[in-house]
C-alpha cells in the first residue's frame, strides 16, 4: 500500500514521516487536529488540498524511508535549523510545491558534485505553501549583512516592498548574474533594464470554466468577460495564494484600472485553493469560473474547460536576487538556478514556463502574458499600489 493512500493517523506514528509532513506544512504539529482528522483523511487528500504532486511526494517518502536521499537534511533547509555561523553564502527562499522534490534532487546532485563549495553554504528552500512570513523578520533589517546572499521566490510580495527587499534594491546591492543574457523571445520584456532582478520562470494565472454553470451566459474567453456583471458572485479566487492573487490584482489593474478591481470583487464568490476548485467544480454550487495557476488546468475534465485569456495569462514571476558583493561565491548557484536543467524541471514538470531560450516550454506557441512592466515596478511604488488594490477589493466584495 502506498504511503499516500494511508490514513494520516497511521502515518503520524512514524517519527520520520511526521517530521517531514510538519516541516513541509502538510499538517500542523497539533495532536488534537491530527486525532480529529487522522482517521478521516488520507495523506493523498491533504497533499491534494495543499497543491503537492502526489506521485512525487510518494517518491520522496520512499527515498527518505530507505535513507538513499535526505533532501532537506543534506541541504540544511529545515527552517528550525540555525543558519551556519561560518557560512560564506546564505541562500533562502521558497520553491513551487509541484516541483519542489525534483528541484531538491537536482540541488542535492549539484551539492554532492561540489562538496567543498557547499561546506560554507547555508540553504533554506521551503515549499511555497509555507509562505514568506518566516523570512520577513530578517528582511526587515536595514543591514544588508542580515539578508540572504541569494534569494529565490515567486511573486511581488517582498521583492518590491520598501520594508523588505525593495530598500536594498534601491541601494543597488543586487546584480543580475543570470546565465541567460537574453530571455526567450516571448519573455524578452521580463529582463530587468536596471540589471538587479533575474527571472527564472513564470507562474501563469488562467481560469477554468464550468460549462454546466453558465446557465445561458456567454462563454468567457477573456479577463474582460470574467469581469462582466453577468458573472457577479460566480468566480472562485485563491486569496490565500498571495503570490498569484497579488499578481492577478496587478494584472487586472494594468488592463482595466481600479474599476477592474471593483468588478473582480463583485464577481468574487469564494476563496478556494486550486486543487479544491478542481475537486468542487462538479458540486452543486454557483461557481462558473475559477482562477488558478496554469499547472492545475491539466487536471480539468468535462464539464470543466480551461481558458488562456485573450489578453494573456497574468504572470507571477519566479525571481532570483544575488548580492553583487558576493558575486564570486554565489555565481555557481546562480548558474545552477538559471541553467537548463532547472529550467526544464520548471517548464516541463510544473507548467511554469521558463525564460531560458534553450528550453521547450509546454505551450502552443501563440500564448501572450500580462506583466506589470518594469517602469511600473522600478519607478513607482508597487507595494503601496498593491496594498491599495487589496483594500479596494476587500471593500467591494460581497
Contacts of 64 (CB under 8 A, 6+ apart): 16, 17, 20, 70, 71
How confident is the model at residue 182, as a pLDDT?
A: 94
Q: 30 — alpha (psi -120 to 50), left (phi > 0) or beta?
A: beta
| pLDDT score of 384 more than 70 | yes
Instruction: State how far the Cα of 313 lies from the Cα of 306, in Å rounded to an integer.
Output: 12
Q: What is the pLDDT of residues 32-41, one digit of tens each?
A: 778 877 788 8
Instruction: State how far the Cα of 68 lies from the Cα of 244, in Å rounded to an integer.
Output: 35
| pLDDT score of 342 more than 50 | yes
Instruction: Copy the grid coordinates of residue 348.
Output: 516541463
State the Cα angle at 185 between 183 and 189, rounded to 5°.
Answer: 70
| pLDDT score of 150 more than 80 | yes
| pLDDT score of 55 more than 70 | yes
| pLDDT score of 72 more than 60 | no
Top mean pLDDT of 20-24, 86-90, 97-101, 350-354 is at 350-354
Top mean pLDDT of 27-31, 57-61, 128-132, 311-315 is at 311-315
Instruction: State how far the Cα of 91 lies from the Cα of 77, in Å rounded to an integer.
Output: 9
Top mean pLDDT of 43-57, 74-88, 155-169 is at 155-169
How confident is the model at residue 281, as a pLDDT?
A: 61
> Comparing 205-209, 268-272, 297-301, 350-354, which segment has the lowest mean pLDDT?
297-301
For each of the domains in the chain, give its residue range(s) and CATH number, in order of start. Answer: 3-66 (no CATH), 71-202+315-379 (3.40.190.10), 205-314+389-396 (3.40.190.10)
How confident is the model at residue 14, as a pLDDT?
A: 82
* Residue 1 CA neighbour count, 13 Å, CB half: 10
Using the structure block, give the residue that is written with the C-alpha cell 521583492: 159
Binned at pLDDT 50, 70 and 90, residue 101 comes out as: confident
Q: Are 177 and 332 spatial neighbours (Cβ–Cβ below 8 Å)?
A: no
Higher pLDDT, residue 25 or 378: 378
Distance from the first to the final alpha carbon of the chain = 45
Binned at pLDDT 50, 70 and 90, residue 83 comes out as: very low
Residue 112, preceding peptide bond in cis (omega within 30° of 0): no
Classify burial at 130, counting beta carbons within 10 Å of its beta carbon; exposed 0-12, middle 13-18, buried 19 or more.
middle
Higher pLDDT, residue 209 or 20: 209
How confident is the model at residue 284, as a pLDDT?
A: 56
Binned at pLDDT 50, 70 and 90, residue 282 comes out as: low
Instruction: Tell which residue, 169, 209, 152, has the closest CA to residue 334.
Output: 152
Compute the mean pLDDT over every residue in the chain, rounded to the nearest whole number.
Answer: 86
How confident is the model at residue 280, as a pLDDT?
A: 65
Binned at pLDDT 50, 70 and 90, residue 29 comes out as: confident
How confident is the model at residue 329, as a pLDDT?
A: 94
Q: Count other C-beta atoms under 10 Å from residue 344's C-beta.
A: 18
How confident is the model at residue 74, as a pLDDT?
A: 40
Higher pLDDT, residue 129 or 136: 136
| pLDDT score of 345 more than 80 | yes
Amino acid at each position: 500500500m502506498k504511503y499516500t493512500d494511508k490514513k494520516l493517523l497511521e502515518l503520524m506514528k512514524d517519527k520520520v514521516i511526521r517530521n517531514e509532513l510538519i516541516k513541509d506544512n502538510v499538517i500542523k504539529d497539533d495532536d488534537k487536529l491530527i486525532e480529529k482528522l487522522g482517521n478521516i483523511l488520507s495523506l493523498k487528500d491533504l497533499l491534494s488540498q495543499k497543491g503537492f504532486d502526489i506521485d512525487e511526494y510518494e517518491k520522496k517518502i520512499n527515498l527518505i524511508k530507505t535513507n538513499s536521499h535526505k533532501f532537506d537534511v543534506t541541504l540544511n533547509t529545515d527552517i528550525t535549523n540555525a543558519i551556519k555561523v561560518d557560512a560564506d553564502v546564505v541562500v533562502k527562499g521558497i520553491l513551487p510545491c509541484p516541483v519542489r522534490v525534483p528541484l531538491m534532487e537536482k540541488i542535492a546532485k549539484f551539492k554532492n558534485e561540489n562538496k567543498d563549495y557547499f561546506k560554507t553554504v547555508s540553504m533554506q528552500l521551503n515549499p511555497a505553501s509555507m509562505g514568506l512570513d518566516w523570512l520577513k523578520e530578517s528582511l526587515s533589517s536595514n543591514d544588508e549583512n542580515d539578508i540572504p546572499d541569494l534569494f529565490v521566490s515567486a511573486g511581488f510580495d517582498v521583492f518590491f516592498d520598501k520594508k523588505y527587499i525593495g530598500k536594498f534594491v534601491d541601494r543597488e546591492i543586487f546584480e543580475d548574474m543570470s546565465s541567460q543574457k537574453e530571455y526567450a523571445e516571448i519573455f524578452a520584456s521580463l529582463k530587468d533594464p536596471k540589471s538587479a532582478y533575474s527571472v527564472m520562470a513564470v507562474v501563469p494565472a488562467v481560469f477554468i470554466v464550468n460549462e454546466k454553470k453558465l446557465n445561458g451566459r456567454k462563454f468567457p474567453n477573456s479577463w474582460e468577460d470574467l469581469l462582466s456583471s453577468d458573472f457577479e458572485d460566480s468566480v472562485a479566487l485563491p486569496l490565500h495564494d498571495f503570490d498569484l492573487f497579488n499578481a492577478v490584482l496587478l494584472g487586472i489593474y494594468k488592463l482595466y484600472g481600479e474599476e477592474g478591481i471593483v468588478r473582480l470583487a463583485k464577481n468574487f464568490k469564494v476563496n478556494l485553493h486550486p486543487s479544491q476548485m478542481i475537486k468542487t467544480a462538479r458540486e452543486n454550487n454557483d461557481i462558473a469560473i475559477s482562477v488558478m495557476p496554469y499547472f492545475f488546468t491539466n487536471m480539468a475534465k468535462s464539464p470543466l474547460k480551461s481558458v488562456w485569456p485573450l489578453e494573456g495569462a497574468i504572470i507571477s514571476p519566479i525571481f532570483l536576487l544575488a548580492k553583487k558583493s558576493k558575486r564570486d561565491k554565489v555565481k555557481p548557484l546562480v548558474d545552477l538556478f538559471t541553467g537548463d536543467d532547472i529550467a526544464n524541471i520548471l517548464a516541463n514538470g510544473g507548467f511554469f514556463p521558463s525564460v531560458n531560450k534553450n528550453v521547450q516550454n509546454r505551450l502552443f506557441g501563440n500564448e501572450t502574458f500580462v506583466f506589470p512592466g518594469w517602469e511600473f515596478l522600478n519607478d513607482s511604488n508597487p507595494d503601496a499600489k498593491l496594498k491599495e488594490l487589496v483594500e479596494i477589493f476587500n471593500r467591494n466584495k460581497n
